[in-house]
Amino acid sequence: MKRTFVWVLVIAAMVLVCADVQAQQGRRLTIEPRLSYWVPDNADNAFGVGAAGEIMLSDWFGLTGGIDFWGFEGETLSATLDVFPDWDIRDLSVGAVFYIAYSETVNPYITAGLDYFFIDDNFGGADAGAFGAAGVDDTLGWHVGGGVDIALSSNFSVVVEARYFDTSIDVNLEEVEIGDVDVTGFAVLVGIEIGF
């Protein structure tokens, strides 16, 4: 619950800072609630929810920030840890967006950025057999992607984006690292962008 409250504060601060920059520079600010579907290499697929903000510094280039939440089902990891319990990923991302073409209706773009993945492993201190209590570490990663922004009106548009994530999550038993779960893979994100 505390992490959720911290995330809400981070998003609110990001919106306020972007709004202040936009007011000073006369640039366009957007907020985007979104849904996503992540297909990682070494874990079950997962649906997610999130939100993003974007501040355009020109007609072609902008800065982005976002937060996304995914919940994963249990996954077989190795012979030493047969079942990887349910776990949640909270992704805090920052990056840049570059519009390939700019029109009043359809605007394709590419994006790239860095991610910090907060992991809630839901082990809850549970025993993993003779090997002790298991846990996972938060981790860094990066993403690249491309998408299209389809304007519905001057202040609303639909955004569809394909994004490639690259990261892995270390799994530990007590203080001993036993391996990692490769969550490198693709996600599709769909949102409604609200412009200010």
What ranges do the domains of the chain cover? Answer: 2-195
pLDDT at 97 over 70: yes
**Segment 146-167 mean pLDDT:** 92
pLDDT tier at 79, thresholds 50, 70, 90: very low
pLDDT tier at 78, thresholds 50, 70, 90: very low
Please determine, looking at this structure, whether the domain spanning 2-195 carries the CATH number 2.40.160.20: yes
Q: What percent of the chain has pLDDT over 70?
A: 63
pLDDT tier at 120, thresholds 50, 70, 90: confident
pLDDT at 188 over 70: yes
Distance, CA of 147 to CA of 139 (rounded, Å): 26
Q: At a CB cut-off of 8 Å and minimum separation 6, what does 112 contact? A: 95, 96, 142, 143, 144, 145
Residue 63: predicted pLDDT: 95
- Output the CA–CA distances (angstroms, integers) from residue 195 to 31, 86, 87, 134, 176, in the order listed: 7, 36, 34, 44, 48
pLDDT at 23 over 70: no
pLDDT at 35 over 80: yes
